[in-house]
Structure 1
Amino acid sequence: MRLLGFALGLSLVLVAVAVVVAVGLERSLSPDPDDRAGGDEPGSSELQDLPKLPPQVDDPREVLPEALRRRPIDYVALGDSYSAGPGLDPQRPDPVACQRSGYNWPAYLADWLDVATYRDVTCTGATTGALLGRQRRPDGTLVPPQIEALTDRTDLVTVSLGGNDNALFATLVGVCSDVADRDPDGDPCRTEFGGSGGADRALAELPVRLAVVIRRIRLAAPSAEVVVVGYPQIFPRTGTCAEISLAAGDVAWAAGLVDRVDRAMLQAAETEGVRFVDVAASGEGHDVCAPQPWVTGARSEPEASTPWHPYPLGMREVARLVTTQLTGEEVVPSGGPPQLGRGVAEANDTP
């Protein structure tokens, strides 16, 4: 009887261990529910589940409240590579995989607004899904959800996301360049990717995704003023140049796609009642082919960003546009690096 009891007890223990191991293995092999970087961007059902919030502004071009401008500001920057500054020195190590510059436009904005604290969690490659879930970088680094940088003490949030959803920008500067040789004077990329199954579908979904992002930000930082910052003009609306690797007929189409991303950002900002800075409209004539471009072309250049991203000049100019709109006062960039105080530097650490 003792042997029978011992055997029965041992069997139960082994079954319990097997169950625990099986559950643990299943969890280790299952996708992380917080890892949304594989394309699990927010959608209309998520927007419907979130409480509707009263608008912060009637006009997306409104300046910040005077009371906020007169006191120390806790500022958080969210966004992708057009905010982060890949390739621009100095590159920050928090983490290296995000390719985030210490001299990007959020850093200049923090300086010119003379904020009390500043946290920059912009990251190259970020989609709208990276705001709410972990972002997986090509080197395997898992970047925390950007929304974790927000608190109930946050006063100001800038956000610039959307161009990487459905690999839209990657298609424009990568795949479109690869297919240009098929028909250098034609529009092979628009023919292949411009229909309802490609770019059009991605752009149709973008306003809702951005609306979810804005509402999530406002819920996470209920005291913060939210500012959506558009993308700069990348491609010329007519013509082409040696800095562009796309087929001649695809250039104007590519410029139109970037415009449509900006319109989706404006639509989401208006729907959610927050501010929007139209960088492309204010920076008209500074595309990659212009005499004074804000963005690099297809070739790498010394002391410049990675291809297709803002030059140091472009970063300063975006910061100037944002600062001018938020304060209602014209800002003249000094040309020097951003000067951030001790408290700002301490708040820069990744949470």
Structure 2
Amino acid sequence: MHRHARRRGIPTRGGSAAVVVALALLLAGCPTARRVPEGNPDRPIEAGDRYVALGDSYTAGYLTGELDPASGGCLRSLDNYPHRIARALDLELTDVSCGGATTENVTAAQQPSRGDAVPPQLDAVGEDTALVTIGLGGNDFNVFGVLVVNCVLAGQQDRTGSPCADLVAENPESLDNIGTIRDRLVDVVTAVRDRAPDARILLVGYPQTFPATTGCAQLPLAAGDVPFAYDALVSLNSAVSSAARKSGAAYVDVWTASEGHDICSADPWIAGAVPPRPDGAPYHPYPEEQELVAGLLLDVLGN
């Protein structure tokens, strides 16, 4: 996910097909995907091992620490969870996470919203890579952007209704984008394993960005669209966890661990529309969330 979601027109009934499809596909089921070899899920990670972090802005962690001057338009923090893990385990880190990245940017170059284009993230993975973490999926089909841009804009016209959820109800015919995201993540794991057959691979889920039922000033969605947005991220995390099962990678469940710390909570670990703190970008993690993810990963790794 990128810290700057592109502004689009307010979705209306019978509006743009692209927006309707993106909304309608958030909650769709997942088709059966092929199974891939399991690789080396129990490989011990030791000091000096090579660690490559692939991901979007929830991995890059913009504003959660000092900006990595080498990250260009990707806006990576030097205190994001990959850097925290690398320091804790004394690993040789190559962090290629980038704001706005999709699963397609694993094998294709990315043009960030500012700065120069960056190479495919997979280029950082080599045969000697021991550990790879992958935090991707939320930008595919603009899933996250639809929720925090299109749905927010729709809510400005209808504060008490459910304009985004209504679009889904009125346009049930759609392709299965959530299932496609799951399959793309399986392909990402396969591509990583082809380059680093002995690497330990972890798929990182997303936190509870939105509350389950009731919004707040920092989350300006229509009242009826708050549970819709929550359910959309439940489906996204289901796609990530399913991809982990299908590919033999480990799944890191950030969703459960971040319960009670959504945008509207008393102790938010995700910044809202106008962050009151300087260490978080709109709709993106605060340092506390990055610390949480690092701890979860260290637990999985047994360190």
Q: TM-score interval w.r.t. the shorter chain?
A: 0.7 to 0.9
Higher-helix-fraction structure: 1
Structure 1 runs of 4+ aligned residues shifted over 6 Å read none
Are residues 1:69 and 2:45 paired? Answer: yes
- Whichever residue aligns with residue 325 of structure 1, its letter is V
**How far, CA to CA, are the matches of 1:193 and 1:97 in structure 2?**
34
- Whichever residue aligns with residue 97 of structure 1, its letter is G
- Whichever residue aligns with residue 154 of structure 1, its letter is T
Are residues 1:310 and 2:262 paired? Answer: no
| Paired residues of 1:77 and 1:120 also in contact (CA < 8 A) | yes
- Whichever residue aligns with residue 83 of structure 2, its letter is A
Give the % identical residues: 37
- Whichever residue aligns with residue 56 of structure 2, its letter is D
For 1:240, the equivalent position in structure 2 comes to 215
Deviation at 1:70, TM superposition (A): 4.3
For 2:242, the equivalent position in structure 1 comes to 267
**How far, CA to CA, are the matches of 1:197 and 1:142 in structure 2?**
36
**How far, CA to CA, are the matches of 2:173 and 2:283 in structure 1?**
25
SS in 2 for 1:155: strand
| Paired residues of 2:52 and 2:131 also in contact (CA < 8 A) | yes
SS in 2 for 1:135: coil
For residues 79-112 of structure 1, what are the alpha-carbon distances to aligned partners after superposition, in whole Å with 9 as ceiling and x for unaligned? 0000001233311122320011111111111112
| Paired residues of 1:89 and 1:303 also in contact (CA < 8 A) | no
For residues 264-286 of structure 1, what are the alpha-carbon distances to aligned partners after superposition, in whole Å with 9 as ceiling and x for unaligned? 01111100111010100122111
| Paired residues of 2:186 and 2:244 also in contact (CA < 8 A) | yes
Q: What's the TM-score, normalizing by structure 2?
A: 0.84
**How far, CA to CA, are the matches of 2:127 and 2:157 in structure 1?**
53
RMSD: 2.0
Instruction: Specify which of 58, 77, 94 is matched with residue 119 of structure 1.
Output: 94
| Paired residues of 2:65 and 2:80 also in contact (CA < 8 A) | no
SS in 2 for 1:291: coil
SS in 2 for 1:69: coil
For residues 155-181 of structure 1, what are the alpha-carbon distances to aligned partners after superposition, in whole Å with 9 as ceiling and x for unaligned? 000001000001110110111111102
Aligned residue runs from structure 1 range 160-171, under 5 A:
160-171=135-146
Q: Which runs of 5+ in 2 are unaligned?
A: 1-32
- Whichever residue aligns with residue 88 of structure 1, its letter is T
**How far, CA to CA, are the matches of 1:232 and 1:111 in structure 2?**
23
Larger Rg computed on CA atoms:
1
For residues 289-340 of structure 1, what are the alpha-carbon distances to aligned partners after superposition, in whole Å with 9 as ceiling and x for unaligned? 112211111113332221000001111111111111221x6xxxxxxxxxxx
For 1:148, the equivalent position in structure 2 comes to 123
Are residues 1:322 and 2:297 paired? Answer: yes
Aligned residue runs from structure 1 range 1-351, under 5 A:
53-56=36-39, 64-65=42-43, 68-70=44-46, 72-115=48-91, 117-139=92-114, 141-192=116-167, 195-196=171-172, 201-327=176-302
Deviation at 1:139, TM superposition (A): 2.8
| Paired residues of 1:159 and 1:228 also in contact (CA < 8 A) | yes
Q: Which runs of 5+ in 1 are unaligned?
A: 1-46, 330-351
For residues 1-35 of structure 1, what are the alpha-carbon distances to aligned partners after superposition, in whole Å with 9 as ceiling and x for unaligned? xxxxxxxxxxxxxxxxxxxxxxxxxxxxxxxxxxx
- Whichever residue aligns with residue 229 of structure 2, its letter is A
For residues 186-225 of structure 1, what are the alpha-carbon distances to aligned partners after superposition, in whole Å with 9 as ceiling and x for unaligned? 1111222574466x73213111111111101111111211
| Paired residues of 1:135 and 1:145 also in contact (CA < 8 A) | yes
**How far, CA to CA, are the matches of 2:47 and 2:70 in structure 1?**
28
- Whichever residue aligns with residue 305 of structure 1, its letter is G
SS in 2 for 1:133: coil
Q: What's the TM-score, normalizing by structure 1?
A: 0.73
SS in 1 for 2:52: strand
